[in-house]
Structure 1
Amino acid sequence: MTTFVHYHHPKDQQYSLAYVTQDRDEITSSGKDALIERYDLDETVFVLYTNQGTSGTIDDIDENFEDALDEMSPDDRTITVRLLQIFEEIIKEKELEEAEKLEIYKQIELDRIPAAIERVDWDQPAVDVAGQLLSTLILTHALPNANHRTSISMAQWYLESIETGFSFPDFATADYDWKEWVNEYIVESKRILTVRRNTTPFSLLAEWGCDIVKRKNNIEIVLAEYDLDLSQSDAYKYYGDVHTDLCTEFLIESVKRAGHDELIGADGISKAEFVTYLDQTE
């Protein structure tokens, strides 16, 4: 029999797994917004779920970005502003399609974006630069929602700066469902993000008889498929590299489907050149 543990609390997805133990007395949630669940696996396990933070809708976002933008270099500011513009466009599209306000679980963490941009090695082939840019923006998770869609659009901007007229294949149908081939990459990306942050509790759960950790949206993480015998620092590095490889693979597939195979072997452009392109296409 397959056994599972929920990563997001099944009755309130604002709460996510924070701690696992076999000793219920180890869990002290005094002063915390928390829920506790018991799971009977090979052994009895108790899971502490804590609130992820801010809740509400997109209307609750603090849009006072001036101070954070003023702290950035001119190039980082240009890229960050374009990222915000992409995010705003995606939110408007989603609200039109879904006829309701998008839910958020945190505020925009704009000050995290320059560090993400800094991790990109711009002296690589074009698809590799785009893959690294896509990955590091997703891993940074600076936005309260739509991080994958927004980051994919930024990677598209980079590839467009090299190949005029390039655009991704349509990712969505009329009812806003991801096409199957795109969804495979997005779902695996979310699995990697979750494992990357939780190798220690997931390793314990596997030891105690858990086969699968279930995220929201029915995403299943089969624990046996991932290396969990890693320290937190090693997991961040290892799964960060795995995620970058996944994102690069996704972009290669996208480029092929768009009929622009020539981009796969094309040289990338520098950060400064990319910023110039963004400035010229406002």
Structure 2
Amino acid sequence: MSNTVYYHHPDDNQYSLAYVTEDRDSIHSSDSDAKIERFDFGTPFYVLYTNNGASGTVDDIDDKFDQALDSFDSDDRIITLRYLQIFEGVIEEKELEEGEKLGIYKNIEVENIPDALSQIDWTGAAVDVAGQLMSTLILKHALPNANHRTSISLAEWYLESAQSGFSLPKLATQDYDWQRWVDDYIAESKRILTVRRNTTAFSFLQDWGCEVVERKGDISIKLADYDLTLPRSKALTQYAQKHADLCTEFMIDSVERGGHTELIRISGPTKSDFATYLSESA
């Protein structure tokens, strides 16, 4: 069995890896907001797991966004509103399927959405723009849950604005799980996101004999598959690009499966054109 460290604490996945050290005395945190685990793969070390303190269900979300939305320009406001509407639909579908409220770990950070939109090059091929749209929104992590589902759905709207009648192939099973081919992309997306935020900590873990970091959802991150030597600023940039490439690959796979390969070749709508399409289809 591989030398494994859990990224989310196995007894409570609200707690996630925050700090690693060989010196137990360097950890100063109360038991009420942290969990500490000892590992030894030849070199003993300690992992601090912390909880950001936010928890509850979607009923606890602060949805008073009027002031923030009023500060957005027209295109950002229209796209943001559609993104939030999609999220609301995901919440309702999840509750219907599972009979319980969707759990959250933070409030919606609505101001992150225009920031994500500003980072997109809206002049490329439709699938390239859709891939960027999906990736930047996931990276900004504006939502308290379901960032992947919501971002993919907005990217689908974008592709529909480029090609009337387009829809993604079936992505989820009747049990609301991802189709196997989709799940492979989602799992790798989560691996990249986790590595991107934790290259320094993971580098130490690797030095101390760890081979695999295990996320919740049985997502294994084989440390040898990733460059953990990058400085933090370079890691953020390089893994963001790796994530964008993955999301674009997912979009290409999706349009090919859906029989709309023309979206690989044709130029996508501009941001303003997309906002206009959303406004007219409201």
Band the TM-score falls in, shorter-chain normalisation: over 0.9
Q: Please list the CA deviations of residues 55-105 of structure 1 after superposition, one character each: whole Å capped at 9, or x if unmatched.
A: 011111111111111121111011100000000001100110001111111
Q: Check 1:53–1:71 CA distance in 2 against 1; reply closer, same or farther (3 A cut).
A: farther
Other-structure match for 1:156? 156
Other-structure match for 2:230? 230
Other-structure match for 2:14? 14
Cα distance in structure 1, aligned partners of 2:42 and 2:116: 41
Cα distance in structure 2, aligned partners of 1:95 and 1:219: 24
Percent of aligned pairs sharing the same letter: 62
Q: Which runs of 4+ in 1 moved over 2 A?
A: none
Classify the secondary structure of the residue corresponding to 2:217.
helix
Report the alpha carbon displacement of residue 277 of structure 1 after superposing the two structures with TM.
Answer: 0.3
Cα distance in structure 2, aligned partners of 1:54 and 1:175: 28
Other-structure match for 2:206? 206
Q: Choose 114-123 or 61-70, whichever is displaced more.
A: 61-70
Classify the secondary structure of the residue corresponding to 2:28.
coil
| TM-score, normalised via structure 1 length | 0.98
Q: Please list the CA deviations of residues 95-117 of structure 1 after superposition, one character each: whole Å capped at 9, or x if unmatched.
A: 10001111111110001111100
Gaps of 5+ in 1: none
Matched to 1:201, the amino acid is A
Q: Please list the CA deviations of residues 219-265 of structure 1 after superposition, one character each: whole Å capped at 9, or x if unmatched.
A: 11000000000111111100000000000000000000001011110
Other-structure match for 1:94? 94
Other-structure match for 1:51? 51
Matched to 2:205, the amino acid is L
Query: Does structure 2 retain, via aligned residues, the 8 Å contact 1:18–1:47?
Result: yes
Cα distance in structure 2, aligned partners of 1:100 and 1:276: 36
Other-structure match for 1:270? 270
Cα distance in structure 1, aligned partners of 2:193 and 2:238: 11
Classify the secondary structure of the residue corresponding to 1:169.
coil
Report the alpha carbon displacement of residue 53 of structure 1 after superposing the two structures with TM.
Answer: 3.2
Q: Please list the CA deviations of residues 18-44 of structure 1 after superposition, one character each: whole Å capped at 9, or x if unmatched.
A: 100001011111597211111111211
Q: Please list the CA deviations of residues 99-151 of structure 1 after superposition, one character each: whole Å capped at 9, or x if unmatched.
A: 11111111100011111000000011111111111100000000000000000
Count of residue correspondences: 282
Classify the secondary structure of the residue corresponding to 2:121.
coil
Q: Choose 190-199 or 263-272, whichever is displaced more.
A: 263-272
Cα distance in structure 2, aligned partners of 1:176 and 1:30: 38
Other-structure match for 2:29? 29
Cα distance in structure 2, aligned partners of 1:203 and 1:16: 17
| TM-score, normalised via structure 2 length | 0.98
Matched to 1:86, the amino acid is I
Classify the secondary structure of the residue corresponding to 1:110.
coil
